[in-house]
Amino acid sequence: MTTPPPEEWQRLYHAMCRIRQFEAQVQRLAAAGEVPGFPHLSTGQEAVAVGVCAHLAAGDLLFTSHRGHGHVLAKGSDAERCMAEILGRDTGLCHGRGGSMHLVDAGTGVLGATGVVAGNLPLAAGAAWAAQALGSGQVSVVFFGDGATGAGVFHETLNLAALWQLPVLFVCENNGYAEFTSREEHSNVQQVSAFAAPYRIGAATVDGNDLPAVHAAAGQAIAALRAGKGPFLLECMTFRLAGHYVGDAQQYRSKEELAAAREKCPIERLGRHLVAQGVAQAELDALAEAARQEIVQAVERARAAPAPDPGTVLEHVYRAAELQAVPG
Amino acid sequence: MAQTFIEILRRALDEELARDARVHLLGEDVAAGGAFGVTRGLAQKHGAQRVRNTPISEAAITGLAIGAALGGLRPVLEIMFIDFATLAMDALVNQAAKYRYMSGGQLAVPLVVRTQSGAAGGAAAQHSQSLEAWFIHVPGLVVVAPSSPVEAYGLLKSAIRLGEPVLFIEHKRLYTMREELAEGPADERELPAIGRARIARAGSDLTLIAWSAMTGTALEAAAALAVEGIAAEVIDLRTLLPLDMDTIAASVGRTHRVLIAQEAVTNGGVGAELAARIGAELFDELDAPVERVGCPFAPIPFSPALERALLPGSAALAAAARELLGVPARAGAGGR
């Protein structure tokens, strides 16, 4: 594994800033009542999205969950179209039919974002099977939280992926909570990577707030997938700085726990690392500011976009008009 | 030579595997032929990569098939009994059905889930259900239930080519039914359109609407009624979602009376939806309320004596038809 050049770290720093800014805007707009539904933020988990997606080509496939804004942006989707979707606009990725929990962008390989925890895991394995069967060389990546390990389909999918040696990377963002319930309370197995061994899947646990660590581990894992070495489970230990959803008062966590987590912010951490490497703080500030401006402008364009035409509400249930002819 | 339902299904799958390299079969035991032998020999002929055994993991294999469809394959998944689809409901209802819509038309799930339902031979309550009504409630799914080997051949091929998530419900009582099918693959133009019913028997006195194995039961009832001078028209729905209301409307326009025959319990069934739609859309055509015959509201029992007592047969259908027409019950008519 070669170490990326300094410019690459700066690019990844910028990518994390974009996600942070994007979600700060989602939070602001949600507080103002402009976001329908239940947005879930990945604030504090940006290094996982960016460190993994840095190794993916445009044609590689990605499946995310209800907490997916960061993954979709890191995969290369347009911030304005993502925000427009979250705001329920016609210009959104899914023309306002998906929303925050279901950002899908076929153009960047984002093939799924499922709101039912763990439902995305077999889909990602299936896309990997298609890639394997068609010899396309694509890899499939699925992001999920540690809460998903409580679902039977998590174990079923690991077994299948291992049996069929599918090119799928399981990325667990272990943020220590399944919604409001701590990992101690929802499982006796504290390290998600421990589930890999019985199925004979390669696995690693890394500090998910350490971008270079995530980047190195993901790079190794994805290279192995491309070499046909079967699936891999990468557990990234991280922390959800926001609540389960926007508006969650987080009464299940102490102030001390949150304060300690903020100290481990992956963006600040990479910044300190880069400054120590000789990058000027002003340069990093400029990257952060560029990200902020881009996102602010994207948000304003998204807000100005029209809502979908109510007359189109029955479009896309089926492709064929004759199947569509079911009365509401 | 006449072939069984199972042999004709196998032929359809064999031809589709040969026609389109994207078609892949998967499911529990399918490489070994499957629990009912439908896929026997196909792994040997088309390769173990295209006809794949899976673990007993309905949730994961259904999700996997959806992901494979998204990734460019045309998977045909076998869920051994429709009763086991209960384990795959997230994948079927939350994922497969909604992909096209939730993605704003960017993605589709060209997937066929073959499954098998109905009561026969003491399979008991967890291997005998008729659960089709659950699925017609879900926008985005297509539900097909063939009534004979030849029907299954064409409908399965059409389903594989449709490009939508299709639940293809076979009936275990039909598996041994034999029919003649012409040699060689059918021309695409000869394949039945999904979403279109067929008139299985023409008649002018009442319309019997059925699907799957109950089509045969309805035809038996129609034959018995014909002896008494009653001309029953039998509609074989073929597709349960979406319903072919055009064919139904044309028939009701001729007969003005409707009897629905289903094996499922009547409560909340496909027949309830049919009755509501016919009542609302064709009220002026009706000379009598729409009637339904189905299973009484109980699980399917194990003992053959009890199973027989529960299942609606042609005698029950004929009796309901006479009542609908105001014809006195036939002397000696009884049983189900």
Residue of B72, B100, B106 lying closest to A134 (CB–CB):
B72
- A271 alpha-carbon distance from chain centroid: 21
A123, A159, A165, A309: best mutation site toward chain B, by most B Cβ within 10 Å?
A: A123
Query: For A206-277, where are the alpha helices, taking DSSP H only?
Result: 211-226, 255-263, 266-276
In the 8-state DSSP scheme, what is residue A221? H
Neighbours of B269 (CB within 10 A): 22
pLDDT in tens, B263-316: 999 999 999 999 999 999 999 999 999 999 999 999 999 999 999 999 999 999
A68-103: pLDDT as tens digits: 999 999 999 999 999 999 999 999 999 999 999 999
A128·B67 Cβ contact <8 A = yes
| Shortest Cα–Cα distance, A283 to chain B (Å) | 38
CB-CB under 8 Å, A98 with B63:
no
Q: Is the CB of A127 less than 8 angstroms away from the CB of B71?
A: yes
Give the pLDDT of residue B111: 98
pLDDT, average across residues B238-243: 97
Work out how many CB contacts closer than 8 A connect A with B.
Answer: 173
Residue B333: the pLDDT is 53
Alpha carbons B104 and B158: distance in angstroms, whole number: 25
Give mean pLDDT, residues B139-155. 98
Say what the pTM is.
0.96
The whole-number pLDDT of residue B331 equals 60
Residues of A in contact with B142 (CB under 8 A): 318, 323
- How far B316 CA sits from the closest chain A CA (Å)? 31
User: Mean pLDDT across the stretch B11-30?
Assistant: 98
Contacts of A135 in chain B (CB under 8 A): none
Q: Which residues of A touch B50 (CB under 8 A)?
A: 133
Domain boundaries, chain B: 3-190, 198-325
> What's the per-residue H, E or C state across B96-126?
HHHHHHHCCCCCCCCEEEEEEECCCCCCCCC
Contacts of A31 (CB under 8 A, 6+ apart): A246
Burial-class residue A324 by CB neighbours within 10 Å (0-12, 13-18, 19+). middle
Shortest CA distance to B234 belongs to which of B263, B259, B271, B269? B259
Domain containing A146 equals 6-324
- A159 assigned to some structural domain: yes
Domain count, chain A: 1
Pair A40, A244: CB distance under 8 Å = yes
Residue A153: what pLDDT?
Answer: 98
Q: How confident is the model at residue B336 (pLDDT cuts 50, 70, 90)?
A: low
Alpha carbon distance A58, A75 (integer Å) = 8
pLDDT tens-place string over residues B162-213: 999 999 999 999 999 999 999 888 887 789 999 999 999 999 999 999 999 9
**Residues on chain B touching A316 (C-beta within 8 angstroms):** 100-101, 103-105
Burial A227-252, CB ≥16 within 10 A → b, else e: eeebbbbbbbbbbbbbbbbbebebee
- Asked if B64's CB is within 8 angstroms of A122's CB, the reply is yes
CATH number for domain B198-325, candidates 3.40.50.300, 3.30.70.20, 3.30.310.50, 3.40.50.920: 3.40.50.920
Degrees (nearest 5) of the Cα angle B39, B72, B102?
A: 110
So what's the pLDDT on residue A2?
56
Cα distance between residue B201 and residue B306, in whole Å:
31
Interchain pair A127, B68: CB under 8 A: yes
Residue B144 has pLDDT above 60, yes or no: yes
Buried b (16+ CB within 10 A) or exposed e, A1-32: eeebeeeebbebbbbbbbbbbbbbbbbebbee
Nearest-CA neighbor of B73 among B23, B16, B108, B109?
B23
Closest of B84, B244, B104 to residue B167, by C-alpha: B84
Give me the pLDDT at residue A13, please: 98
Contact residues on chain A for B62, CB-CB shorter than 8 A: 122
Residue A72 phi/psi, 5° resolution? -70, -40
- Please indicate, yes or no, if residue A251 is contained in any of the structural domains: yes
CATH superfamily of this structure's domain B3-190: Thiamin diphosphate (ThDP)-binding fold, Pyr/PP domains (3.40.50.970)
**Within-domain flag for A115:** yes
| Cis bond before residue A36 (omega within 30° of 0) | no
H-type helices in chain A, by residue range?
6-31, 46-53, 69-74, 79-86, 120-134, 152-163, 183-186, 211-226, 255-263, 266-276, 281-304, 321-324
CA distance A326 to chain B (A): 6
Q: Is B81 helix (H, G, I), strand (E, B) or coil?
A: coil
- With beta carbons under 8 A apart, name residues in chain B contacting A317: 100-101, 139-140
Interface residue of A63, A139, A323 to substitute, partner B, most B CBs within 10 Å: A323
Report the pLDDT value the prediction gives residue A242, as an integer from 0 to 100.
84
Distance, CA of B198 to CA of B115 (rounded, Å): 22
Q: What pLDDT score does B165 carry?
A: 98
Just list the catalytic residues of B. Answer: 58, 127
| Sheet order of strands, A202-207 included | A110-114, A61-65, A140-145, A168-174, A232-237, A202-207
Touching B: A residues 265-284, CB under 8 Å: none
Average pLDDT score over residue span B233-262: 98
φ, ψ for residue A48, nearest 5 deg: -70, -50
- Are the Cβ atoms of B55 and A160 closer than 8 angstroms? yes
- Say whether B66 and A123 touch across the interface (CB within 8 A): yes
- Copy the structure tokens of residue B272: 């309830």
Strand partners, A233: A170, A203
Mutate to test the interface with B, among A60, A81, A104, A129 (most CBs of B within 10 A): A129
Rounded CA separation A267/A281 (Å): 13
Contact flag B193-A322 (C-beta cutoff 8 Å)? yes
Which secondary-structure segment (H or E) carries B22? none
Has residue A73 been placed in a domain?
Answer: yes
Phi/psi for A125 (5° steps) reads -65, -40
CATH assignment at residue A91: 3.40.50.970
Out of A46-55, A303-312, B143-152, B321-330, pick the least confident: B321-330
Cβ neighbours, 10 Å, residue B71? 24
Q: pLDDT per residue over B83-139, tens digit each?
A: 999 999 999 999 999 999 999 999 999 999 999 999 999 999 999 999 999 999 999
ipTM, two decimals: 0.95
In terms of C-beta density within 10 A (0-12 exposed, 13-18 middle, 19 or more buried), how is residue B276 classed? exposed
B23: β partners: B74
> Which residues in chain A come in under a pLDDT of 50?
1, 327-328
